[in-house]
Amino acid sequence: MKSQDRRESILEAATGVFGDYGYVGATTDQVARAAGVSQPYVVRMFGSKEKLFLEVLRRALDLLLAAFRQVLVDYARDELPRRFGRAYVDLLNDRGLLLSLMHSYVMGSDPVIGRAAREGFLEVYEFLRKEAGFGAEEVRQFLAGGMLINTMVGVRMSDDFETNPLARELLTTALPEKLDLLLHLGKTQKPESR
């Protein structure tokens, strides 16, 4: 396989693994197995686990912003909030993408990854504020809703959807549409076992 294709397939695999176990919890060996290559190959291709994670974050952010920019092209101003929301939830199809980002949001203490996480978050903020033309309070509400969705995904609240009426109500309220997407993912996508 060509190096560039291999690179992309490792990045995809790494996104899933980092999403499930976090930066520290994930091992380069798990990533390698998920990508179907050997552990040394992963480390050599990206230099280090840290650099691999930074590339995962960069890729995730690029995909997120690309999806949002497409919304900007396709829809009118008054539809944007709802359409951005839909586009955001659709990113759940990219396994681990939102979760990898969320893992970075809790690593502010790390000098390298913390900086990247802040810059990445601010890129999104800047996009919404300037390119999308949202007001500050409008952006706040949008981001807040996104962070709640992240939390529902991160905590796997969908595991309790069937059995716990409160979980069901919470999920239904937090994910206005596309809830089925989240529920289906839980059943379809199993995390790699350690």
Tokens representing 9 are 């397939």
- Of 131, 133, 173, 177, which one interacts with its own copies (CB under 8 A)? 173
Axis-axis angle for helices 80-90, 136-154 (nearest 10): 20
**Least Cβ distance, residue 23 to its own copies (angstroms):** 8
Residue 9's φ and ψ, nearest 5 degrees, are -70, -30
Choose from its own copies, DNA, none: what does 40 bind? Cβ within 5-8 Å by kind: DNA
In a 3-state reduction of DSSP, which class is residue 48? coil
Q: Which stretch binds its own copies (CB under 8 A): 21-29, 39-47, 58-66, 74-82?
A: 21-29
Site for DNA in 15-74 (CB under 7 A): 26-29, 36-41, 43-44, 48-50
Q: Is the dihedral of CA 99, 125, 112, 3 positive or negative?
A: positive
Single-letter amino acid code for the residue at 103? H
Shortest distance, CB of residue 48 to DNA, whole angstroms?
3
CA–CA distance, 123 with 39 (Å, rounded to integer): 32
Among 3, 163, 188, 193, binds DNA (CB under 7 A): 3
Residue 162's contacts (CB-CB under 8 Å, 6 or more residues apart) are: 168
Number of residues that bind its own copies (CB under 8 A): 50
* CA neighbor of 192 nearest in space, from 54, 70, 2, 32: 32
For residue 140, state whether it binds DNA (rule: CB under 7 A): no
Query: Binders of its own copies among 58-77, rule CB under 8 A?
Result: none
- How many CA atoms are closer than 13 Å to the CA of 133, on its beta-carbon side? 6
Choose from its own copies, DNA, none: what does 27 bind? Cβ within 5-8 Å by kind: DNA
Nearer to DNA, 27 or 150 (CB): 27
The answer to whether 120 and 101 are in contact (CB under 8 A) is: yes
Site string for its own copies, 111-150 (x = CB under 8 A): ---x--xx--xx--xx--x------xx-xxx-xxx-xx-x
- State the residues that interact with DNA by CB under 7 A: 1-3, 6, 26-29, 36-41, 43-44, 48-50, 194
